[in-house]
Amino acid sequence: MSQPQDLLDSVSGQLRNLPLLATPETCLGRSYIVTGANSGLGFEAAKHLVSLGAGKVILAVRNLSAGEKAKAKIEASTGKTGSAEVWQLDLSNYESVKSFAKRATLELDCIDALIENAGAEGYPVTITVNVYSTFMLAILLLPKMKEDAQRLNIVPHISIVSSSVAFSAQPLWDLGKADSNPVDKIVQVGQLDITNGYTVSKLLEVLAVRHLAPLIPVSTTGVVINLVCPGLCKTDIGRNASDDIKAVAGTMMDQIGRTSEDGSRTLLFAATAGKNSHGKFTADCEIKDDSVIPDWIKGKEAKEERKRLWDVISNEIESAAPGSTAKTFS
């Protein structure tokens, strides 16, 4: 598939010192869920939300101890207590996803935004976490967010953290076309390692959102679903990558890498971007669908393949949470 440099070409000219477009006016008193909030981008996004006066910020983390430490740091840094809460969420475990969604539905008065930032590397867990569980959580929380939109006259957002490196996965996607299970096919033909597995999972996220968004229009649900690329950021996400990837990424990070705080601003933009961002790819705190998404993903020819992919994802969700996808489209 792609060489290390190919995976980073799309961020070679990335901007830094991005604007913080989320404001106290847009965040005050609102409720947010941030997955993977104990470190990196998720931590910085959660800290911003607390600082901006959010009423409740759920730090959804696999490790509760790490989550509590993150919460303490956020409260110490912002001087604000009472809004951050630590909830357990293990996206590698479907039962944990279902339990978290049930708790959020029952205990939260509303969900203004679900920021799906948590990710994993290395197949098969990367596909489970980045694709199946990510969309399962969105599907399970969508009915509540839809009800919140109607009851409170708000526009909740589901923002899925993806990456522009997804578009370097076209060769594997082409090999998986027309297969009854494109996910299994591209894994088989690509012999996914950590790097390729991550890249393919990001592509699957993009394809799935582009199929799903027209089926759940904002005019019907009141809920926005979008994608966000935080760019190349100085986090530990590549700690398990190959040595050649680490070498290239290290050089790029030194030259143009964003800090986690800078990158987190893209997450906040997506979580407050409004109805025009529905189904769109955002980056650099802008909607960049037209300029970033390649034709082979946007074109009519890809429509059938996107549906085939979504069928695989929805079947996996249904097997773990029967009846959940039907509620999405009711």
Q: Which residues are catalytic?
A: 162, 198, 202
CA distances in angstroms from 227 to 31, 53, 96, 219, 284, listed in the order given: 20, 24, 24, 19, 12
Please, which residues bridge with residue 60 across strands? 35, 87
Q: Which strand (E) or helix (H) includes residue 308?
A: helix 301-320
Torsion of CA 287, 279, 160, 90, to 10 degrees: 170
Here the tokens at position 102 are 């049930």
Q: How many CA atoms, within 13 angstroms, populate the side-chain half-sphere of residue 272? A: 23
Please list, in sequence order, all residues whose beta carbon lies within 8 angstroms of the beta carbon of residue 98, skipping any fewer than 6 positions away.
Answer: 136, 140, 320, 321
Radius of gyration of the chain (CA): 18
Q: Tell me the C-alpha distance between 115 and 285, whole Å.
A: 15
Q: How many CA atoms, within 13 angstroms, populate the side-chain half-sphere of residue 63? A: 6
Burial (Cβ within 10 Å: 0-12, 13-18, ≥19) of residue 269? buried
Here the tokens at position 308 are 């085939």
Q: What is the DSSP string of 125-180?
A: HHHIIIIIIHHHHHHHHHHHHHHHHHHHT---EEEEE--GGGGGGHHHHHHHTT-S
